[in-house]
């Protein structure tokens, strides 16, 4: 099996693919292009087990890859990604509700209800989270893994690694980045940590 390696030296993630034609595919961790670094007829046992598991259910890295694919498929190549439009394009109705109590959002049929008492940035994350469940084929109540994956999808849909890297060439200020991506402190901080970019952000989120 061919082994690929991320071309971003700060990332350096390596993984196995089924075909050498996958060379150049985006890194499942940071989104940068990959390069072919070797071929192994049989991957290590732990990687083979991981590959089998990934056939059964998604993982955060897969969720992030899927999120980037969704953003691109809907024409979003720079921030902000308008998640409400993606939801509408898929046939969902996004509705603000005063009857959710402590819930931030819920999906009922083809209606995504968001808590009217939450700010707009929270609504955006909630819609992105529900889209994560939709695209990953999971539902609320499936367990912490499903929620972690939906959160990973949402974070990457709102602040993808490639978009954040590009944005940092224009500004490193946390406030400006949050305004650009239309996200909360936590979403920006987690994205920066995930893509190993925390040290490039200045201001109130620096170092995350």
Give residue limits of the domains in the chain.
2-56, 60-200
Q: The whole model's pTM is what?
A: 0.73
Query: What is the residue-averaged pLDDT of the chain?
Result: 83
| Fold of domain 60-200 | Arc Repressor Mutant, subunit A (1.10.10)
What mean pLDDT do residues 144-173 have? 96
Q: What pLDDT does residue 49 have?
A: 38
User: What's the CA gap between 127 and 150, in Å, rounded?
Assistant: 10
What mean pLDDT do residues 31-38 have? 68
Residue range 41-98, pLDDT digits in tens: 444 443 343 333 343 444 789 999 999 999 999 999 999 999 999 999 999 999 999 9
Dump the DSSP string for 123-191: HHHHHHHHHHHHHHT--TTS-HHHHHHHHHHHHHHHS-HHHHHHHTTT--BHHHHHHHHT--HHHHHHH
User: What's the CA gap between 66 and 62, in Å, rounded?
Assistant: 6
Q: What pLDDT does residue 132 have?
A: 95
Q: What pLDDT does residue 186 have?
A: 96
What mean pLDDT do residues 10-16 have? 64
């Amino acid at each position: 099996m061919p082994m690929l390696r991320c071309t971003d030296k700060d990332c350096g993630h390596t993984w196995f693919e089924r075909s050498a034609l996958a060379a150049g595919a985006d890194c499942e961790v940071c989104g940068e292009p990959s390069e072919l670094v070797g071929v192994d007829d049989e991957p290590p046992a732990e990687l083979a087990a991981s590959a089998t598991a990934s056939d059964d259910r998604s993982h955060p890295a897969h969720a992030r890859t899927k999120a980037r694919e969704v953003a691109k498929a809907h024409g979003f190549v720079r921030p902000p990604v308008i998640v409400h439009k993606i939801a509408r394009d898929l046939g969902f109705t996004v509705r603000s509700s005063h009857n959710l109590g402590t819930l931030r959002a819920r999906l009922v049929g083809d209606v995504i209800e968001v808590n009217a008492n939450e700010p707009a940035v929270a609504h955006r994350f909630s819609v992105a989270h529900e889209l994560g469940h939709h695209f990953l084929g999971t539902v609320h109540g499936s367990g912490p893994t499903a929620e972690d994956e939906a959160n990973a999808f949402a974070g990457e849909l709102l602040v993808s690694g490639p978009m954040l890297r590009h944005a940092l060439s224009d500004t490193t200020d946390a406030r400006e980045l949050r305004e650009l991506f239309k996200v909360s402190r936590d979403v920006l901080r987690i994205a920066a940590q995930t893509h190993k970019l925390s040290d490039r952000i200045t201001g109130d989120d620096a170092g995350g």
